[in-house]
Chain A
């Protein structure tokens, strides 16, 4: 069934000699990725630095990241799943249809060459970005790369890692997992955690209008959601906690300005490889921290009469 084979970024820096960036533009979106982790640093086992590494960029267009690549594979939009699936078959020396492969914008020969290089690598890594995880196929595109990575381990050391978006997405994922068991899209309305992307994930909830209130913290759905979702946010009581007045603030009922986490408020940030880093504020702020505001709201809510019946009466539903 595949799995998730990964490592912390130092392993990449010290060992990786074959790096694939897929569906991402690190030169512009993760500007220190090359110099800190993947291309230029002298690794413990890659002392030659850049010369000891091969970088492959897979994307639908030639971004500034292509300048740093040894091999650039331009694939047609919406073909990431097909390419990754084909690679999985080629890794196992299975038959593929050359004409259908060619529809991806790449040839069987090109993909076979990549597979050969992957197998010859001492330590390969695939970094996949939102071009993979947010385009048609979504989690299946990511799943294809995860499975490919797991299967490559029969031949050589291979890992993969998602290139996370800005903010502390990884941190939210990590904390939700330990407190609720699930990384996102967690529903607590039946008194215990439930998970079902598509049913409880944010975009879907908002677009269907399944919620009758919203508290937005550290995000700006009023700028990024599909229009029906934005309209729904404007209709229901929406509360925003943010250092800035955002698009969402403008359609919210209440906006509370809070201190900037990491600059004026302490905390922990989890890096894309899930390593926790302490945030030590450098400045003070006249505004309360997100934590202070949430605690005050929670105290007020806790003072209200309980709405959940005593636990013994609750039927557990999947």
Chain B
């Protein structure tokens, strides 16, 4: 396992897209230490900021408060990236495979436009989780993002496939312009969930305010949720589905598009 320990918090954001198994695994420790990172407008060496130890390979552990380190895990296709601390913006952006595990918080744009792999954030994430970058038609194309804590604005914006699970509270515009895929909101969300969604499924375990362009369709217990629940249980997420405990109210929308997405809101039995 390769370990990189942050020596001091950078004065301005540090862009370190080299911190990916694809780039690090084939290199020697000396070569790794000399890799370029960018402190604002200046190019520096990786070891100006990190102490690098261990065995280069597919398993990498970053240690320290990396909240100001951006682009970790960018476009990675395999391997395990573990962060014992916080991570900055664009973590796992365009990721295609492998695993990212954060024992801390993540910044905005987590897993933006990713197409495969698994990301698990034990703390909170920022906004635009699994989203499309500005102007782009499509966000996350596949993969799984699990966030134990809360998240910010525009979670899953324009996602096409894949799953995002957020255990804590989420802000406005979750599922904005969704094209497909699934978002699970463990503690609901603030405003405008599912705004302008085309397709896809948003599952909220708490009541949430809905836009006037969503219509109530039915109350039921969809069978696909059992499979989902089983999958998510491996991450410590509990997805209720048993009719002995409650049911889901199904709303369809967004009529503004008009879209055929659905929002399922859990209603526990009394």
Contact = CB atoms under 8 A, between A and B. Distances in A.
A touches B in complex, CB < 8 A: yes
A315 B212 contact: no
Interface in A1-30: 1
B192 A81 contact: yes
B195 A140 contact: yes
Q: Please tell me the size bucket of the interface on B.
A: 35 or more
Interface stretch (A89-97, A252-260, A261-269, A284-292): A89-97
A81 B38 contact: no
A317 interface: yes
Contacts of B254: 85, 89
B18 to A, nearest CB: 9
A127 interface: no
A196 interface: yes
B134 A197 contact: yes
Contacts of A210: 12-13, 68
A212 B11 contact: yes
Given A137-B172, A196-B133, A315-B17, A94 B256 contact: yes
Interface string A110-149: 0000000000000000000000000011001000000100
B258 interface: yes
Contacts of B127: 198
Nearest to A102: B212
A86 B258 contact: no
Given A92-B258, A211-B12, A81 B195 contact: yes
B108 interface: yes
B191 interface: yes
Contacts of A86: 211-213, 256
Nearest to A86: B212
If over half of A's interface residues share one DSSP class (helix, strand or loop), that class is named, otherwise mixed; here it is loop
Contacts of B192: 81-82, 137, 140
Contact of B215 (A81, A97, A104, A196): A97
Contacts of A96: 212-213, 215, 255
B15 A101 contact: no
Contact of A97 (B133, B173, B212, B257): B212
A86 B212 CA distance: 7
A312 interface: no
A280 to B, nearest CB: 37
Interface stretch (B39-47, B55-63, B139-147, B231-239): B39-47
Contacts of B212: 82, 85-86, 89, 96-98, 100-101, 103-104
Given A89-B255, A189-B41, A140 B173 contact: yes
Contacts of B29: none
B172 A136 contact: yes
Contacts of A212: 11-12, 40
A315 B109 CA distance: 21
A315 B36 contact: yes
B40 A85 contact: no
A125 B97 CA distance: 48
Nearest to B127: A198
Nearest to A317: B17
21 contacts: A85-B212, A88-B256, A89-B213, A89-B256, A89-B258, A96-B212, A100-B210, A101-B212, A136-B191, A189-B38, A190-B15, A196-B109, A196-B134, A198-B128, A199-B108, A212-B11, A307-B41, A317-B71, A317-B74, A318-B93, A318-B133
Given A89-B255, A100-B212, A190-B41, 16 more contacts: A78-B191, A82-B192, A85-B195, A85-B212, A86-B212, A89-B213, A92-B258, A97-B214, A97-B215, A97-B216, A189-B40, A195-B134, A210-B13, A211-B12, A307-B42, A317-B74
What 9 A-B pairs come out closest when comparing CB atoms? A94-B255, A100-B212, A88-B256, A89-B255, A189-B41, A101-B212, A89-B256, A89-B213, A85-B256
